[in-house]
Amino acid sequence: MGLTGSIVRTPSRHRGLSRFGDVLLTALAVAGGLCILLVILAVTLNITLIMFSTGSMAPTIPAGSVAVVREVPASQIEVGDVVTVDRPGALPVTHRVTDVLATEGDRATFTMQGDANDDPDPAPYTAESVRVALTSVPHLASVIVWFGHPVVLGCLTVTATALVTWAFWPRRTPGSPKPDPSQV
């Protein structure tokens, strides 16, 4: 008695490449899902990122760091909080609150000083809302800036396109008949 079917073996190199592609696509899908979750949390909780170009908050937050900040009413800040204040006609400043002078509704007047600065900021700040630093990651700003470069964005786009095309490209399963070229 003989076997009526035959076993078609996939070369191990092809299986390894296929497995690598599956792992890569899964990792990218998880990263994409995480990004979507982070965007939803950022919108619902008023959380954003700020990049530090100066070292005025070193060593707590060195230059080149990225901080996760949450927008809150200025009346909620306390001495010791690290906050970002928008200034009309100038870049925002992020320093540590040294004194809360007055509050009225959501508005507060307060003084600040950078951890690396010898002197406090020259004048008090008055604001209705500020962004409180929740945490920071040193050296992440350069990575974010690198990913924003047009050449890097172009390469990532081409790579993602190639992976999606590869993932959805029709494949022959082992044992399936080869297509007849005369019927194509």
- Which pLDDT does position 98 carry in this prediction? 98
CATH of domain 47-138: 2.10.109.10
- Which pLDDT does position 7 carry in this prediction? 53
| Residue 98: burial class (beta carbons within 10 Å; 0-12, 13-18, 19+) | middle
What string of pLDDT tens digits covers the 184 residues of the chain? Answer: 555 555 555 556 667 767 887 888 888 889 889 889 989 988 999 999 999 999 999 999 999 999 999 999 999 999 999 999 999 899 999 999 999 999 999 999 999 999 999 999 999 999 999 999 999 999 999 888 888 899 998 998 998 888 888 878 887 777 667 767 676 5
| Residue 54 CB neighbour total at 10 angstroms | 15
pTM of the predicted structure, to 2 decimals: 0.69
Q: Would you call 137 helix, strand, or coil by DSSP?
A: strand
CB 156 within 8 A of CB 31: no
CA-to-CA dists, residue 105 to 75, 97, 108, 110, angstroms: 7, 19, 8, 14
- Which pLDDT does position 179 carry in this prediction? 67
- Which pLDDT does position 159 carry in this prediction? 87
DSSP 8-state secondary structure symbol assigned to residue 127: E
Backbone angles phi, psi at 20, to 5 degrees: -60, -45
DSSP 8-state secondary structure symbol assigned to residue 4: S
> Would you tell me the crossing angle of helices 150-168 and 140-147 to the nearest 10 degrees?
70
- Which pLDDT does position 11 carry in this prediction? 56
Q: Where are the beta strands (DSSP E) in 27-175?
A: 47-51, 66-73, 82-87, 90-104, 107-113, 125-127, 129-137
